[in-house]
């Protein structure tokens, strides 16, 4: 029988089938917690430092004190991967508020919990990369910046879940969320970009979009390739009439969008800028300079 994956919970490793969260954990009761989704490619944890740093920024905003230093949590992630002999992996790092009472006051939760799940990855199909994906703009608005904004990578993902369900119901691959003014914000777990007249645009954080690590890299690559890149409000009209559109994200990597609410984007095929960024990103995932090795 295959050995079960080991899950790290507060310094102890449990087999996947026995890795459990107490029912009084406010992460479960109130979505009170933060997380990161990280990937390892061929023995290198891609952009690990940046993910850990964002985890601490999310926690800082929630006044959630992570009981480990950044160095300790980095080592715990690497150790969990080693325990599971993984080289290519999806890593889910979660910090919950911890066990409290049934009220929502976080002061009743003395000890936040750190959970590290490392598993194999289900990657986007090569067809999605080659042909692009279909999307729908959802009726569910992204949370405004003065609510449970997605700038915080918190355990509140119901907004994304609802939008994803809608995309599925309409037979689309993915959903796009608008901010409360009607401007494009992001996907359910991806940042969005458009290309118009050779310029690259992405919505600002004021739309409630997460500061994506893949997005930041895509911006760097686009600039290195000589393109102008700007943060800008993008209307649904501007998205429908863009020359190209694509998503970026840890899970999605760089993926072309071929259709939005049944409107074809550009000529309906991945455009030249998107293709160059996909190639640059793929190259980066096999470059040790972009990550931390699991096995020294």
Ligand X SMILES: Cc1ncc(COP(=O)(O)O)c(C=O)c1O
> Would you name the residues annotated as active-site residues?
153
Using the rule CB under 6 A, which residue among 191, 202, 207, 274 binds ligand X? 191
Closer by beta carbon to ligand X, 6 or else 35: 35
99 vs 176 by CB, closer to ligand X: 176
Interaction pattern, residues 108-147, with ligand X; x per rule: CB under 6 A: ----------------------------------------
Binding range to ligand X, per CB under 6 A, among 72-80, 107-115, 196-204, 245-253? 245-253
- 4, 47, 84, 158 from 163: Cα distances, Å: 33, 28, 33, 8
The residue range among 22-30, 126-134, 210-218, 276-284 that interacts with ligand X, by the rule CB under 6 A, is: 210-218
**Binding to ligand X in span 253-292, by CB under 6 A:** none
Of 52, 250, 273, 294, the one binding ligand X (CB under 6 A) is: 250
What does the per-residue mask of binding to ligand X show for 141-160, with x meaning CB under 6 A? ---------x----------
Q: Which residues pair with 41 in a beta bridge?
A: 44
Residues between 8 and 37 that touch ligand X (CB under 6 A)? 37
**What are the beta bridge partners of residue 180?**
none
103's tokens: 């009220």
Cβ 55 to ligand X, closest distance in Å? Answer: 11
Written as six digits, the tokens of 159 are 């907004």
Question: Which secondary structure element, helix H or strand E, spans residue 253, and what is its range?
Answer: strand 253-260
249 lines the binding site for ligand X (CB under 6 A): yes
**Using CB under 6 A, which of 27, 100, 132, 212 touches ligand X?**
212
Strand partners, 264: 259
Among 140, 213, 255, 265, interactor with ligand X by CB under 6 A: 213
Instruction: Return the sign of the alpha-carbon dihedral for residues 115, 49, 132, 190.
Output: positive
Q: Which residues face 255 on adjacent strands?
A: 247
Could you list the beta-strand ranges (E) of 148-252: 174-178, 184-187, 191-196, 199-202, 229-231, 244-249
CA 226 to each of CA 126, 200, 219, 229: distance values in angstroms, whole numbers, following the listed order: 27, 11, 11, 9
What residue ranges bind ligand X (CB under 6 A)?
37, 150, 186, 189-191, 210, 212-215, 248-250
């Amino acid at each position: 029988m295959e050995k079960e994956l080991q899950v790290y919970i507060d310094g102890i490793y449990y087999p996947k089938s026995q890795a459990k969260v107490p029912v009084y954990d406010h992460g479960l009761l109130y979505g009170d917690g933060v997380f990161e989704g990280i990937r390892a490619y061929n023995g290198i944890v891609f952009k690990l430092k940046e993910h850990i740093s964002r985890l601490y920024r999310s926690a800082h905003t929630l006044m959630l004190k992570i009981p480990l230093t950044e160095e300790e949590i980095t080592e715990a992630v690497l150790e969990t991967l080693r325990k599971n002999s993984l080289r290519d992996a999806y890593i889910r790092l979660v910090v919950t508020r911890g066990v409290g009472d049934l009220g929502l006051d976080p002061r009743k939760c003395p000890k936040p919990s750190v959970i590290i799940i490392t598993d194999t990855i289900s990657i986007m199909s090569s067809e999605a990369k080659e042909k692009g994906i279909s999307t729908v703009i959802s009726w569910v608005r992204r949370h405004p910046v003065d609510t449970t904004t997605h700038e915080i990578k918190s355990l509140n993902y119901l907004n994304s879940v609802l939008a994803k369900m809608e995309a599925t119901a309409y037979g689309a691959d993915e959903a796009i969320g608008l901010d409360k003014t009607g401007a494009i914000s992001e996907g359910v777990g991806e940042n969005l970009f458009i290309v118009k007249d050779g310029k690259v645009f992405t919505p600002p954080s004021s739309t409630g979009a997460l500061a994506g690590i893949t997005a930041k890299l895509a911006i760097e690559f686009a600039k290195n390739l000589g393109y102008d890149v700007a943060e800008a409000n993008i209307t649904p009209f501007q998205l429908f009439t863009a020359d190209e559109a694509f998503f970026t994200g840890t899970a999605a990597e760089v993926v072309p969008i071929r259709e939005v609410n049944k409107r074809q984007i550009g000529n309906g095929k991945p455009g030249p800028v998107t293709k160059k960024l996909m190639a640059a990103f793929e190259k980066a995932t096999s470059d040790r300079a972009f990550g931390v090795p699991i096995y020294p």
